[in-house]
Chain A
Amino acid sequence: MKESIPLTWRRIPERYTLLGTQCETCGKAYFPPRIICPQCRRKGKIKKIKFSGRGKVYSYTKIFVPPEGFEKQAPYMLAVIELEEGARVTAQIVDTCGDVKIGSPVRAVFRIIQRDDPEGLIHYGFKFRLANDT
């Protein structure tokens, strides 16, 4: 689905720098950012944190039938990544020949996520690549 310009602009900190939140009361890290900690609710104290971008593959799949806007990228690897701070994110794994396994170490990279059309908006954000790759 095409995102609006205000939405894309609003999400720049999180998508460009993996900015999330952490609850000072229970220590749990969240990505994307949350206004309240679902575990502690009003007893929680939320602060912003910047994730290191290092993590491990928790699960993965190869997408052969892509959604609108991803036609030129398919097939591509999609994974749930467990970041070293504990939060998990959904993201693509790029620059790999398919040797992704559960547990593979990965690191975040800054990439184009999708383009609306040749004249339209270019959406940027995070993808991941295998950490042992050079």
Chain B
Amino acid sequence: MTRFGENWEKGFRDMVTEAGINAINDAGISGEEINAGFVGSMASGTLIGQEHIGALLADYMGLNPTPITRVEGACASGSLALRQGFMAVASGLYDIVVVGGVEKMTDLGTTEVSTILGGAGDQEWELFLGATFPGLYALMARRHMYEFNTTEEMLAAVAVKNHKNGAKNKYAQYQNEITMDTVLNSKMVADPLKIMDCSPITDGAAAVILAPSEMAGSFKKEPVNIVASTQASDTLALHSRETLTGLKSAQIASAIAYKQAGIAPKDIDVAEVHDCFTIAEIMAIEDLGFFKKGEGGKASLEGRTSLEGEIPINTSGGLKSCGHPVGATGVKQIAEIVWQLRGEAGKRQVKNAETGLTHNVGGSGATTVIHILQKQR
């Protein structure tokens, strides 16, 4: 992957090519061996005016005439691309597939970017009426506080923990630790969410190589198995859901994923979850079955999700500290889990990690994609 951040010196095609080359080198293969590709990007058309990015990627990576297809599912676009690649290999149609995720966001100003990201929600019935993305998650946070006595300190604990992890990640946008006071005293965006409860605007790209298990053993690096790949949908608008305190799409997608993998939530050693806002991580660790509904905030405050805790969450720094180039995030989550399972995560390594999970959410929860990865034994 590329470093995540305000990559003013790098364009969309530079980043996606860099990430692709890094993945190809990591696998120790050559471009001719790649049969197909899938790339996730939420909003290249509005962010940089460039559509048709599958073709762009094939061209700039020197992969023509290999077919490369773009997929889109808002902030879950990266995981969706991985899922398409997974299905293409599993079907037997292709052997070696490259999967990428990319977003170039800092060419525009914050207000324009926020408006574009709003397109992940319901344009006509949320955004038009004055909602913003932080606003939608604030509505969830308020309700979570009302039903479960979740506090602003519990939200802040998520940001503090994720910065602590991000400080150990050379790819992260923010490699600095922060204090609870910094979060609590930061500028209000949508009450109760403050700027330090929100993931930033980021440029970046990430890529991985997929191959059938029986072939993967012949590559340079130790391969990791994808043992579950699931996706679930929910209503586009937040207000159409029965509850605001969790994402049904995440609950359903993860339940199916555990079944596919033949494991239970307690078997997960490390997880990357979609913390676009701090409340999103609290809901995620509940939806995924790591903690009971309503207890995610308390668990976060008690450090149970820290690197040393019982279930380390977002060792990469999460969206909050590693950054959130929307289309790239899902693929970055996969890269982080692969590094963890191979024991290559350096100072943020979780000891004896054998099974990892990724949770990537589109919009306010209308799409959730779950993957479970396991070390090859």
Contact = CB atoms under 8 A, between A and B. Distances in A.
Q: Answer whether A and B are interacting partners.
A: yes
Contacts of B118: 1, 67
B189 A65 contact: yes
Interface in A27-78: 30, 32, 38, 58-68, 70, 73, 76, 78
A64 B138 CA distance: 12
A70 B189 CA distance: 14
Contacts of A88: 239-240
B111 A67 contact: yes
Contacts of B187: 64
Interface residues of B, number: 39
Contact of A78 (B115, B123, B131): B131
B129 interface: yes
Interface string A1-44: 10100010001000000000000000000101000001000000
A85 B193 CA distance: 31
Interface string A109-131: 00001100000000101000000
A60 B139 contact: yes
B284 to A, nearest CB: 19
Among A38, A58, A63, A92: residue with most chain B CB under 10 A: A63
Contacts of B142: 59-61, 102
B139 A64 contact: no
Contacts of B132: 63, 65-67
Contacts of A91: 129-130
Contacts of A104: none
Nearest to B115: A68
B239 A102 contact: no
A47 B135 CA distance: 32
B146 A102 contact: yes
Contacts of B125: 32, 89-90
B244 interface: yes
B190 interface: yes
Contacts of A30: 240
A70 B114 CA distance: 13
Interface residues of A, number: 34
B115 A1 contact: yes
A22 to B, nearest CB: 14
Contacts of A58: 143, 239, 244
Interface string B174-202: 00000000000001111111000000000
B112 interface: yes
Nearest to B140: A59
A62 B190 contact: yes
A69 B306 CA distance: 40
A92 B129 contact: yes
Contacts of B123: 1
Contact of B134 (A7, A11, A65, A92): A65
B128 interface: yes
A3 B127 CA distance: 11
B127 A61 contact: no
B126 interface: yes
10 contacts: A1-B119, A58-B239, A59-B143, A60-B142, A61-B192, A63-B135, A67-B130, A89-B239, A113-B128, A113-B129
Interface of A: 1, 3, 7, 11, 30, 32, 38, 58-68, 70, 73, 76, 78-80, 88-92, 102, 113-114, 123, 125
* Closest 3 pairs between A and B when the two form their complex, measured CB to CB: A61-B138, A62-B191, A59-B143
Interface of B: 111-112, 114-115, 118-119, 122-132, 134-135, 138-143, 146, 187-193, 235, 237-240, 244
